[in-house]
């Protein structure tokens, strides 16, 4: 048995095995044997896919590997998910940066499993002896969500800053989770963990100023009084984003 070109064997096996599990029964019977079997397959193959990606990265020549080739490799693996969920999943993340601690790589991707259960991984690597070595990972906050990412101008020397956001898969509407994180070659740290926002749209200037338009839940759901949309503007400081203005957008 051979997986299609560009698809890790572990993900191919997951798709094959899930096709043998009666998913309707799984969804309807929380304590069923089918559910237990489904979860075992889901979790083991998720780990296998993550391991295969880490293995691919660890074999790269860190002095010559480019962010584009790594991003292309990840996008090929998850091309079907991106086609099926294009409004929820953006391009895979791959950033290569030369910092005082050495050359760093940050990757990020979403793996959508059987019952629309996406799991997100953001991994940090450091070049050691000419190869990228995994040193930290994060992204669990985005399990159950899509993922878009953008690199921000770091306000702290020796760190890579990233804004990540994505919609919840199981929500009647568009609830967006947002996080700002930093990676210094040893660990990730949270810079900003706001509450989830409704119908949030993100724009980022070349200088790193962030504008977020999102629905005010009290006005929309309770008061039913327009305008419903808030526009928040942020600038970056070493401690993270600072909101400098907030105003309603005329309907």
pLDDT of 85 reads 86
What confidence tens digit (pLDDT) does each residue in 82-95 have? 788 888 899 999 99
pLDDT of residue 19: 47
Q: Where are the domains of the chain?
A: 9-193, 197-251
- For residue 175, what are the CA distances in angstroms to 129, 135, 215? 43, 31, 10
**pLDDT of res. 112:** 87
Q: Is the pLDDT of residue 242 over 90?
A: yes
* Better pLDDT: 117 or 102: 102
Structure confidence at residue 34 (pLDDT): 74
Tell me: pLDDT of 23 over 60: no
**Which helix (H) or strand (E) is 234 found in, with range?**
strand 229-237
User: How confident is the model at residue 28, as a pLDDT?
Assistant: 47
Residue 225 is given by DSSP the state: -
7: confidence class by pLDDT, cuts 50, 70, 90 = low
pLDDT at 11 (0 to 100): 53
Does residue 100 come out as left (phi exceeding 0), alpha (psi in the -120 to 50 range) or beta?
alpha
Q: Where does the pLDDT of residue 155 fall: very low under 50, low under 70, confident under 90, or very high at 90 and above?
A: very high
The pLDDT value recorded for residue 73 is 95
pLDDT score of 195: 96
| Residue pair 71/92 in contact by the 8 Å Cβ criterion | yes
Query: Long-range contacts: 206-214, Cβ < 8 Å, 24+?
Result: 207/153, 208/152, 208/153, 208/235, 208/236, 209/233, 209/234, 209/235, 209/236, 210/152, 210/163, 210/234, 210/235, 210/236, 210/241, 212/178, 213/249, 214/176
Question: What residues have CB less than 8 Å from 8, skipping those under 6 apart?
Answer: 48, 49, 52, 53, 77
The conformational region for residue 154 under phi > 0 = left, psi -120 to 50 = alpha, else beta, is: beta
Q: How many CB atoms lie within 10 A of CB 79?
A: 13
**Closest-CA residue to 70 (of 98, 99, 93):** 93
Q: What is the pLDDT of residue 15?
A: 52
Mean pLDDT of 227-241: 97
Give dist(CA 7, CA 100) in Å, integer. 36
Helix axes 33-58, 9-18, angle to 10 degrees: 170
Count CB atoms within 10 A of the CB of residue 131: 16
CA distance readout (Å), 222 to 31, 217, 228:
37, 7, 11
Instruction: Quick: pLDDT tens for 130-150.
Output: 999 999 999 999 999 999 999
């Amino acid at each position: 048995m051979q997986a299609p070109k560009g698809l890790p064997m572990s993900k191919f096996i997951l798709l094959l095995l899930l096709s043998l599990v009666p998913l309707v029964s799984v969804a309807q019977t929380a304590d069923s044997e089918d559910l237990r079997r489904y979860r075992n397959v889901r979790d083991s193959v998720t780990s296998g896919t993550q391991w295969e990606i880490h293995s691919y990265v660890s074999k790269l020549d860190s002095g010559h590997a480019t962010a584009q080739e790594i991003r292309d490799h990840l996008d090929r693996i998850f091309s079907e998910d991106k086609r099926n969920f294009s409004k929820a999943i953006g391009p895979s993340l791959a950033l290569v940066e030369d910092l005082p601690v050495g050359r760093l790589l940050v990757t990020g991707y979403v793996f959508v499993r059987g019952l629309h259960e996406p799991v997100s991984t953001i991994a940090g690597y450091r070049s050691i002896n000419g190869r990228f070595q995994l040193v930290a990972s994060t992204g669990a906050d985005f399990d159950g969500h899509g993922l878009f990412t953008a690199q921000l101008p770091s306000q702290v020397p020796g760190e890579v800053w990233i804004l990540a956001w994505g919609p919840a898969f199981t929500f009647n509407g568009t609830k967006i989770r947002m996080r700002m994180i930093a990676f210094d070659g040893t660990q990730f740290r949270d810079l900003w963990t706001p509450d989830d926002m409704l119908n949030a749209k993100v724009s980022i200037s070349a200088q790193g100023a962030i504008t977020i338009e999102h629905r005010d839940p009290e006005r929309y759901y309770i008061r039913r009084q327009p305008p419903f949309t808030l526009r928040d503007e942020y600038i970056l400081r070493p401690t993270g984003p600072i909101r400098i203005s907030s105003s309603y957008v005329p309907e």
